Every structure is written in structure tokens, then in C-alpha cells.
A and B are shown apart, each in its own frame.
Chain A
Amino acid sequence: MKLLNYIERKSPVHSLNGASKLFCLLMWICSTMITFNTPFLLGATILGAVAFKLSRLKLSEQKGLLYFLLCFMLLNALLIYIFNPERGVELYGTRNLLFTIWGRFTITKEQLLYQFNVILKYLSTIPIILVFIGSTQPSELAASMNRIGIPYSFSYSFALALRYIPDTVASFIDISRCQQARGIEMSNKESILKRVKAAAALVLPLILGSVEQIEVITNAMELRKFGTQKRRTWIMSRPFRAGDYLTIVIGIGMMAFVIAYNVINGSRFWNPFI
């Protein structure tokens, strides 16, 4: 099973250092998460598309994920609208009614802008996550996390999780099939309590087995001196090049813009209605 969809290819994005990409990714996600500045989000979306193009990844390689993204985005937009058709009015403080569908389901300019922002948030972040995962070797991730200042114990937990997820999935499949053969199922026929208990029986051998495994892995790591020094080196680390500094500057720039805009504007919202 392939966990992260890394695709080996020659591209300017692939040749960047994982640490600079990770830093930029974090800044990117945080800045687009905080802001409701529509032009900024539009800009980030375009920049994300450019990065995707530069990375030489193909849309067809990401089909499953993109399809899922589309469904999720529409579902979320629909839910937001159903639950609060005038959320935009609350947020922007004005009310420009366009028309009313039925009862409380109104369409206002504010709601349209707000929901457009939410969609832009998806569109500006997902492609950049795809680019990052598609262009960064999983093995380089932990080294990169450590490089940007995350403690190595935490970084190595991440690496170990990536290492052991395929094993865990494989033993889960084996165990659950054996339990299914004995008759454990979680179908709709039973009461919810029984279903939860069936699930417990299904996963109990897996979880207790994993706990036992922890001791053995710990021994293996201690016997090869993990955790004895204040820092560690990484065989998968890579040197910084000019492009990496540019990547970091982009990340800092985005974050700085968002913070500056919030401070000067006094609000996270780009508001054309006042």
C-alpha cells in the first residue's frame, strides 16, 4: 500500500529542499486559513496552480483525491448554506439581498462572497498540499521537520508512523478477515451497542498486538543508540540552494501580508460592501 502519493520526477519543485517546502507549506496553510481577503486567496490559488504546473505532476495522477475534494467542498458549501443562509450578513455587517428562494433561504451578496471565500480556501490549499506530497520523498519529511526546528523525537515519531502504517494496515486486514470468518460483522442488523462491541472485538487483537510491538521496536532503537544525543543527523537531508531561499521568502511574504492586512484593516475580512 502506498501511503503518500510521492511521484518521482525531475522538476524545479522536486529539486527543492524538503525543509523549505515544508516551511512554505505551513506558512501557506496558516495564512490562507486565517485570512478572508478575497484577492489574496485568489492570488494564492493562482500561485498554487503555477506551483502544480512547475512540479510536472499531472491532474490525472490525483484524480481520486480531486474528485473527493470536489464532493467535499460542495457538501460543505451546501451545509453552510442550509445551516445559516445569512452567515455572510453577520460577518460583513451589511445586507444586500438579491432574491429569496423560499422562507429563510435568501441569497445575499454577502453570503455569496463569504461562501466564495470558503471555496477559495480549499482551492488555494489543496493543490499546494498535493504538490508538497507529490514532490517530496516521504523519507525526507522527518529530516525536513527537524531542519525547520521541530524536535527530532517528534519528527521521528512522524517517520516511524509512516514506516509502520503499511504493516498496521496489513495486519488489520488479516485480523479483520479472520474475525469476519468467525462471524463478527458490523452490519445494520444489530443494535448500535452490539455493533460497537463487535468493532471492539475486531480491533482488540490488532491494538494489543501493536502495544507489544512497541517494546520490541523501542529495544531495537535503543540498541542502535536512538535518543542518546541532543541532535541527530539525517542521511536523507539535502543542502539548501537558491530556490530554497526563494521558497522560504514566499512563505514569509504570504504570512507577513496576512498579518499586516489584519492589523491595518482591523479585520480579517476584505469587505467591498462598506
Chain B
Amino acid sequence: MERGEPIIEFRDFSFQYNAQMEPTLYNIDLTIYKGEKVLIAGPSGCGKSTLVNCINGLIPFSYKGEIKGSLKINGEESSSQSISRISNTVGTVLQDSDAQFIGMTVLEDIAFALENECVVKEDMLERVHRAAQIVDISDHLEYAPTDLSGGQKQRTGIAGILVDDVEVMLFDEPLANLDPATGKTAMELIDEVSAGTGATVIVVEHRIEDVLHIDMDRIILMEDGRIVFDGTPDALLSSNLLIEGGIREPLYITALKYAGVEITEDKLPHSIRSINLTYEDKDLVRMWHESTPTVRPAPKTDTILDIKNLEFAYEDREPTLKGVDLEVHRGELMSIVGRNGAGKSTIAKVICRFEKDCTGSMELMGEDLKTLSIKECADRVGYVMQNPNQMISKTLIFDEIALGLRMRGFSEDAIQEKVESVMKICGLYEFRKWPISALSYGQKKRVTIASILVLDPDIIILDEPTAGQDFRHYTDIMEFLRDINSRGITIIMITHDMHLMLEYAERALVFTDGRIIADDTSAAILTNPAITEKASLKETSLYHLALMCGIEPSEFVQHFINYDREVRS
């Protein structure tokens, strides 16, 4: 590949935060050239966020620490510049789209950097309109962030850096808060913008398959503060480095490997659209598929929650739920999917009685939920928020888990017994003396689940249980949920994550515009193009692989799930 001039150059670069005992980055040697599209991947804690902060200047100007070696941005040592000077070269779109959105409206947010540079109003308007046009948000300039979807907020974020004519666009986990279809569009937009402006693109993500929806020139793989791979996507996918590094491989690669297909660079494995499979390879896949009969999980039938014709509207708005009929069966592990605003969070809130003004019927084992208070309802249906920090209000693990019991007037002896037994189930017993603040994110998640579990509910509803987690933490949390599920607790998960849906949920409900448009196995839904398109999902790459090999897709996906389950456990 033809390379332009270097724009970012790390030379034997190490960094150690002041508060930490060890460096976070060790001897980084990395050059990024003008016009390149680079993906930086790695598990959490590998140092990729720190690397991002070095590139955009937050290190050393906001976060203090010790730097060794050299980092040149646009030919000049970064530490001799200033954060605003570096921002002229590197534009950053942060992962948290609500924090990224500073202005009160789209117009103001795009103009933010220009205002800070004292550009006069007329010039500002012209540049803002041009940037808005590029990302196609011109029709929403007066909108406030609360009225925008995740995808629109991201477009605004991109326009907000484009307006400054940056040479490098740096994206920190751009797909984290987007539904699958919007994520796909976002990657296409990034690709388009970079083609149009010639800007260098650096994407930091652990969802490799979704980023590789567009052609990336290079992947940098990090582990424990070091770069362990720097090369083309094809070369990386032909190795076993991703699995070893605790990152999820694209599903079609995993499937091909299970089938015994050898993956080499010349087969162009970087995308399901580019991959060249030989006749023999396809045969191997077919043989693998036929080696064992595909067992579909037996559907459960003992109805625990029965919802009929449920309608709900927020004040003065269009109804969010329109005549929802739903039966949940005892012991199910199911997912609710759909785009933002389709009603999937709302139905959870209505079931938990957080929202009260609904019509229709909701019965839990014959008991009318609509007569219960929010607290009474929690004894039967527990709700776990996405961010554990939003639920934790005590400093000690024991107190946090015991809170609900104490509020319900249990005796201290009974509390002691219940809390300890829940701690054992949740693998928290060994930490029982720890303050919560010393726990990792995943452990905090367990604490919040434990604090719900201790009330002995029949159903637990979780909102995005694994958002923002890398493969290892994801697996950790999900295996834990599966374990709880096997103890007889019905679990409902609201999610955007199609891997989660595919690998763990035996049943999936698809919401669109306040209605359920599909209720089936995850394998069946993610291989149905009509439904995936309508609900802003994305069909799994296994679907395309199945078609390529002439296998019935939903059968194939089910086979993959069963096989994968066995291999991993």
C-alpha cells in the first residue's frame, strides 16, 4: 500500500499515571500515516484508552504522569504543543455521546469549537452548515440532544470535529451505544467522510467484526500496555491472536475454524463479503454442519407472566406501547431487542410499575400486577439498571445487598442468612468485607444483581447487562446470568448486542414502534432479513456464510450456537 507522510509517530514511548505503580504503556512504536484508516483493538485495561488520550493531547495536558520516549503529532513533539494546538490536527469523538454533546442544540454543538476560536458569526454559520450537510444532520439543527437518537448524536459529534478541518478523526468506541443497524451506518459514514476529506481515521473498538464492515488499512492489537500486532486485518484474522488477546473474533471466522477451514491471508478473511472460500472449504463447513443433528431447545410452556393488550403513553405523547400481547414462561432466558424508542425499555418499566398509567392486563401467576406498588412489585419482578453505579448507594457490599431486606423489616438474623447465601451464589462471598469501591465493574454488576436476587423475585429484568464490556467480562457476566437462570429464575434482557442475543437468549422479542413484530428463537430472527431491517438489527454474518455454503441459515446458526456452547463450557 502506498503510504503518505507520517502524522502520528510514537517512538519507544512509555507512560505512567502519577497515581499508579506501573506504567500503562510500554515502549510503544507506532506510526500512523496521513489518510490511513486504523483500528486499535484490545481488551479493557490494555491501555488503548490511554493511547487515545496521548494522541488527542489529554495526556500530558490534563492527566499527569511520567512520559518516556517521543510522540510527534504533525511533526512536532506533542508535549511542546498545547491541547488546543493538538486539537487543530486531531478531532476526537468521545464514547459518551451525551458528554460529547456540549451545546444546547445541534447547531450550537457543531459550532462549539469555532466559538472558542472566536470565529465571527457569519463564517461560523457557513462552516457549520457545510459540516452538517456532510454528515446529513441539516434538518435537525434546532434539535436538543434529548430529542435525538444515538445515531444523530454521533453525526453531530462528527460534524463538531469536521467543522475544524481536522486531519485526524479519532473515535473512541463509536459503536458502544448504537443499535446494530445504526452502528453499520455510522461506520459507513466514517468511511465516506474520510474519503471525502482525506482525513486519517483512528477507531478504537473491541467489536472487530462491526468495524470491519468498512475496509480498514491496519489493525493495531494491544495487550497489557504493549502493541502485540500491527498489520492488515487479513493477517490478523489468519492468526489466533484475537482469541489469545481476549477479543471476540468475527463469528464467521469462529464458525470456519470450528469447521476446520484453514484461514489464510490470501482468502481475504477481513469481511464476510470479501472472503474467498474454496470448494473444499465450503464442503468442510457443510460436513461440520451435518456432523451432528441440530437440536432446537425445547420451548418452555409454563406461563409465569401474562400480558394482554398492554398500552402505554408518556404524557402528551404518542403511545409508546400499542397493544402488546406477551407470555413469559417460567425459567426462560429471553431478550427484548429493537431500535431506540421502539418501546423495549418502556415495557420493562411498565412491568416493574415504574410507569403506572397503562391499560390492558398484566398478570404474574394469576396476580394482577397493576394493583401493586412499585415496592411490592419488586418482590416479584426485579429490575437491574445498565450502569451499576446508578444503583449502588452503600459503601459496604453486605449493606448494599441487605438494603432491600432491611427496608422490608426482616430480622438481622434472617438478613445475615439470606445475604450470605446470595453472596455465595454470586461469587461475592470472598469479598464480603470489601468496600464496594474496590470492586471492578463486573463485580459491581454482580452486587447489583445480588441486591435484587436477595428479594427472591420470580423474574429479573436487566437493561443492557453487558454494555461497554470486553469479551472476557461479557462472558463472565453472561455465564453468571445463565447460572442464576438455571436456578429457576426467569431472566429478561433488554439489549442491542446481537452476540448476546444469539449466544444466550433462547427466545427473542423484537419491538418496532411499540409493537412486537417477531417472537422466535434468536437464530431464526437474526437470519430473517425482513425482520432485521424493520427493527434496525443486522443479520449475523453466519447467515451470509450459510448462504455461501448452501445451508439453511437458521438451522446453521442454531447449530453454531449449540456447538459453540459445548466448546466453551
A183 to B375, Cβ gap below 8 A? yes
**Which residues of chain A are within 8 angstroms of B103 by Cβ–Cβ distance?**
139, 163
> In the complex, which residue of chain A has the Cβ closest to the Cβ of B90?
A223
Known: A182-B451, A205-B391. A225 touches B352 (CB 8 A): no
A91–B564 Cα distance when bound, in Å, is 87
In the complex, per-residue mask of A62-106: 1 if CB is within 8 Å of any chain B CB, else 0: 000000000000000000000000000000000000000000000
Known: A178-B391, A228-B116, A233-B120. A183 touches B104 (CB 8 A): no
Known: A183-B378, A222-B62, A223-B87. A232 touches B118 (CB 8 A): yes
Q: Please provide the chain B residues from 364 to 403 with a CB less than 8 Å away from any CB of chain A in the complex.
A: 374-375, 377-378, 382-383, 385, 387, 389-394, 403
Which of B83, B119, B390 interacts with A178 by CB under 8 Å?
B390
Is residue A246 within 8 Å, beta carbon to beta carbon, of the partner chain? no
A228–B82 Cα distance when bound, in Å, is 10
Is residue B125 within 8 Å, beta carbon to beta carbon, of the partner chain? yes
Is residue B102 within 8 Å, beta carbon to beta carbon, of the partner chain? yes
A208 to B389, Cβ gap below 8 A? yes
Is residue B347 within 8 Å, beta carbon to beta carbon, of the partner chain? no
A223 to B92, Cβ gap below 8 A? yes
Known: A202-B393, A229-B117, A235-B121. A160 touches B102 (CB 8 A): yes
A217 to B108, Cβ gap below 8 A? no
Which of A138, A166, A220, A236 interacts with B99 by CB under 8 Å?
A220
In the complex, per-residue mask of A163-185: 1 if CB is within 8 Å of any chain B CB, else 0: 10011001100110111111111
Minimum CB–CB distance from B364 to chain A (whole Å) comes to 15
**Which residues of chain A are within 8 angstroms of B117 by Cβ–Cβ distance?**
225, 228-229
A201 to B403, Cβ gap below 8 A? yes
A235 to B115, Cβ gap below 8 A? yes
Is residue B551 within 8 Å, beta carbon to beta carbon, of the partner chain? no
A181 to B378, Cβ gap below 8 A? yes
In the complex, per-residue mask of B94-114: 1 if CB is within 8 Å of any chain A CB, else 0: 101011101111011001111
Is residue B404 within 8 Å, beta carbon to beta carbon, of the partner chain? yes
**Which residues of chain B are within 8 angstroms of A160 by Cβ–Cβ distance?**
102
Known: A213-B99, A228-B84, A236-B108. A181 touches B393 (CB 8 A): no
Minimum CB–CB distance from B151 to chain A (whole Å) comes to 18
Is residue A193 within 8 Å, beta carbon to beta carbon, of the partner chain? no
A209–B393 Cα distance when bound, in Å, is 11
A159–B112 Cα distance when bound, in Å, is 12
Task: Please report whether the interface of chain A is mostly helix, strand, loop or mixed according to DSSP.
Answer: helix
Q: Please provide the chain A residues from 174 to 216 with a CB less than 8 Å away from any CB of chain B in the complex.
A: 174-175, 177-185, 200-202, 204-206, 208-209, 212-213, 216
A229 to B393, Cβ gap below 8 A? no
**Which residues of chain B are within 8 angstroms of A271 by Cβ–Cβ distance?**
none
A205 to B390, Cβ gap below 8 A? yes
Interface residue total, chain A, C-beta cutoff 8 A: 53
**Which residues of chain A are within 8 angstroms of B144 by Cβ–Cβ distance?**
166
Q: Please provide the chain A residues from 131 to 183 with a CB less than 8 Å away from any CB of chain B in the complex.
A: 138-139, 159-160, 162-163, 166-167, 170-171, 174-175, 177-183
Known: A183-B408, A231-B118. A209 touches B389 (CB 8 A): yes
> In the complex, which residue of chain B has the Cβ closest to the Cβ of A200?
B393
Is residue B146 within 8 Å, beta carbon to beta carbon, of the partner chain? yes
B128 to A235, Cβ gap below 8 A? yes
A227 to B116, Cβ gap below 8 A? yes
Which of A1, A162, A179 interacts with B393 by CB under 8 Å?
A179
A140–B37 Cα distance when bound, in Å, is 39
What 13 new A-B contacts, CB under 8 Å, besides A178-B385, A184-B407, A219-B99? A167-B145, A171-B390, A177-B352, A179-B393, A201-B403, A204-B393, A205-B390, A208-B389, A220-B102, A233-B114, A233-B124, A235-B125, A236-B108
Q: List 26 A-B contacts (CB under 8 A).
A: A163-B103, A166-B144, A175-B391, A180-B375, A181-B353, A181-B354, A183-B404, A183-B407, A201-B393, A201-B403, A216-B96, A219-B58, A220-B94, A222-B58, A223-B91, A223-B94, A224-B113, A224-B164, A225-B84, A225-B116, A227-B116, A228-B84, A232-B116, A233-B120, A233-B121, A235-B124
Lowest 6 CB-CB distances: which A-B pairs, in order? A183-B407, A181-B378, A216-B99, A235-B111, A224-B113, A201-B393
A residues with a Cβ closer than 8 A to B are: 1, 138-139, 159-160, 162-163, 166-167, 170-171, 174-175, 177-185, 200-202, 204-206, 208-209, 212-213, 216-229, 231-237
B residues with a Cβ closer than 8 A to A are: 56-58, 61-62, 82-84, 87, 91-92, 94, 96, 98-100, 102-105, 107-108, 111-121, 124-125, 128, 144-146, 160-161, 164, 349, 352-354, 374-375, 377-378, 382-383, 385, 387, 389-394, 403-404, 406-408, 451-452, 455
